[in-house]
């Protein structure tokens, strides 16, 4: 198990301990106001953890406190892990970013784009260019999510049995086949929309690696990084450490329904690289640390420096931000001044972002109130864990940014 402990005094890495001390009471107010049962925060600079705090409980019924080894559903923070696996295969010459998806998944041949009509009788036109792996990793493929409820294509996914959760007993292969029958929202590469695209990437990973996704991630990422507590299910001997999932309602929280909160006790039928992982803060910190060190951790290299730098650049056309290019539907991030790379949001303009942040800061979050960001210029990493839906992480990030950045005094 990856251990968590403060590794250096703030002054050793150019930070002010008194300013960092402001973080805990600010975040504790979320617990005191009943907005979330518990949380954990980690701040790391120059590869040393300088702040580690937690408050509240992981289960309101049992009152068991949040501990360093608490297990969290990281939801969409699974996506960066899947993206790294895809780029590892790319470095090995086994997967090209320009590969048409249909080269690996024939059902994506001849995709069509929605232009009008009701969900049961859509009017469509052919794609101008094939959907590629690059489109999937950048969320510019034209795919969507069923739970958004903003577009007829969302309804088409629900007609096929998909919602916030996926149909019982279905495999990833079967799910991807059903998704391929839904028209795209737009021509590939012409817009940005948060979507199931990373889940399709996870199926491509299986096909290229010729192994199930859980085995690929275990062999390529989790075992090399020592992420022993990370996976797609939680066996009985670890379930006591799993935080309960809650929904934010009427200024408070209530337990999420079973279909949302369930975490499998054994290997599930459907392994999804878009939102399926459960992990600890210590484990995920090791993954983030690997990224922050440009692909290497403790002598183990997963990616080259150039690949990490390429993944964490803004890939949107003309270096524009998501507000100018993306659809205003659902994201875990604010869109002004923020672009998107291969699996990460990227601060493209700190001034437009309206935040004390840095050009090139990259991040992602999960709908259950988890988030992380890495600032390469400041050698800074931040990780936050909680379990409340909907996520207030945009507001949390806005609250955390000034407190953390104003603690940098060198």
- Report pLDDT for 392: 65
pLDDT tens digits, the chain, 410 residues: what are they? 567 999 999 999 999 999 999 999 999 999 999 989 999 999 999 999 999 999 999 999 999 999 999 999 999 999 999 999 999 999 999 999 999 999 999 999 999 999 999 999 999 999 999 999 999 999 999 999 988 888 999 999 999 999 888 888 899 999 999 999 999 999 999 999 999 999 999 999 999 999 999 999 999 999 999 999 999 999 999 999 999 999 998 889 999 998 888 899 999 999 999 999 999 999 999 999 999 999 999 999 999 999 999 999 999 999 999 988 876 655 555 688 999 999 999 999 999 988 888 999 999 999 999 999 999 999 999 999 999 998 765 677 778 999 999 999 99
410 assigned to some structural domain: no
Same domain, 35 and 129: no
Same domain, 242 and 372: yes
321 assigned to some structural domain: yes
What CATH code is carried by the domain that includes residue 158? 3.40.710.10
Same domain, 115 and 158: yes
- Report pLDDT for 108: 98
- Report pLDDT for 133: 98
Instruction: Identify the domain containing residue 232 by its residue range.
Output: 10-80+213-405
Answer with the one of 190, 209, 228 that is the final residue of a domain: 209
| The dihedral sign for the CA sequence 264, 267, 270, 272 | positive
Task: Give me the number of domains the chain comprises.
Answer: 2
Closest Cα to residue 380, out of 145, 19, 43, 5? 43
- Report pLDDT for 398: 78
CB neighbour burial string for 195-217, b if at least 16 within 10 angstroms, e if fewer: bbbbbbbbbbbbebbeebbbebb
Same domain, 180 and 222: no
Same domain, 259 and 174: no
1 assigned to some structural domain: no
Same domain, 162 and 132: yes
Same domain, 294 and 165: no
4 assigned to some structural domain: no
Answer with the one of 148, 175, 209 that is the final residue of a domain: 209
Task: Tally helices (H) and strands (E) across the chain.
Answer: 16, 16
Instruction: Measure the CA–CA gap between 59 and 31, rounded to whole angstroms.
Output: 12
pTM: 0.96
187: how many CB neighbours lie within 10 A of its CB?
A: 17
* Helix extents (H) in 109-249: 133-138, 152-159, 172-179, 197-209, 213-217, 223-225
- Report pLDDT for 97: 98
Same domain, 61 and 95: no
Same domain, 264 and 171: no
Same domain, 205 and 222: no
328 assigned to some structural domain: yes
31 assigned to some structural domain: yes
Answer with the one of 165, 192, 209 that is the final residue of a domain: 209
Same domain, 73 and 59: yes
Same domain, 309 and 352: yes
What are residue 247's DSSP bridge partners? Answer: 254, 389
Cis ω for the linkage preceding 363 (within 30 of 0): no
| DSSP for residue 132 | B
Q: Which residues fall within 8 angstroms of residue 162, CB to CB, at 6 or more apart? A: 146, 175, 178, 179
3 assigned to some structural domain: no
What does the chain come to in residues? 410
Burial class (CB within 10 angstroms; exposed 0-12, middle 13-18, buried 19+) of 119: middle
185 assigned to some structural domain: yes
């Amino acid at each position: 198990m990856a251990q968590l402990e403060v590794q250096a005094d703030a002054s050793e890495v150019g930070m002010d301990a008194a300013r960092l001390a402001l973080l805990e009471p600010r975040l504790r107010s979320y617990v005191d106001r009943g907005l979330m049962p518990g949380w954990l925060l980690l701040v790391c600079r120059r590869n040393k953890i300088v702040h580690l705090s937690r408050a509240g409980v992981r289960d309101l019924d049992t009152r068991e406190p949040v501990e360093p080894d608490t297990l969290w559903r990281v939801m969409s923070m699974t996506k960066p892990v899947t993206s790294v696996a895809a780029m590892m295969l790319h470095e090995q010459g086994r997967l090209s970013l320009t590969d048409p998806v249909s080269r690996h998944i024939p059902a994506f041949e001849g995709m069509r784009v929605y232009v009008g009509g009701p969900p049961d009788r859509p009017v469509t036109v052919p794609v101008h260019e094939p959907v590629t792996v690059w489109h999937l990793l950048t969320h510019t493929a034209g795919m969507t999510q069923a739970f958004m409820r903003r577009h007829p294509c969302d309804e088409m996914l629900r007609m096929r049995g998909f919602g916030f959760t996926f149909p019982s007993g279905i495999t990833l292969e079967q799910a991807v086949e059903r998704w391929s029958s839904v028209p795209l929202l737009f021509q590939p590469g012409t817009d940005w929309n948060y979507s199931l695209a990373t889940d399709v990437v996870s199926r491509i990973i299986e096909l290229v690696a010729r192994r199930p996704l859980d085995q690929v991630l275990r062999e390529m990422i989790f075992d090399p990084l020592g992420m022993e507590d990370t996976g797609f299910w939680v066996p009985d001997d670890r379930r006591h450490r799993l935080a309960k999932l809650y929904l934010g309602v009427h200024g408070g929280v209530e337990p999420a329904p079973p279909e949302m909160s369930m975490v499998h006790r054994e290997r599930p039928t459907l392994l999804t690289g878009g939102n399926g992982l459960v992990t600890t803060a210590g484990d995920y910190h090791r993954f983030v640390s690997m990224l922050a060190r440009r692909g290497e951790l403790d002598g183990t290299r997963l990616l080259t420096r150039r690949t990490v730098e390429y993944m964490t650049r803004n890939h949107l056309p003309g270096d524009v931000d998501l507000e100018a290019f993306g659809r205003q539907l659902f994201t875990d991030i604010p869109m002004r001044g923020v672009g998107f790379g291969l699996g990460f949001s990227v601060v493209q303009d700190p001034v437009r972002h309206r935040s004390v942040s840095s050009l090139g800061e990259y991040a992602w979050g999960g709908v259950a109130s988890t988030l992380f960001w890495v600032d390469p210029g400041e050698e800074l990493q931040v990780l936050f864990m909680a379990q409340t839906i909907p996520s207030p992480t945009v507001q949390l990030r806005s609250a955390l940014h000034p407190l953390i950045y104003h603690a940098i005094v060198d």
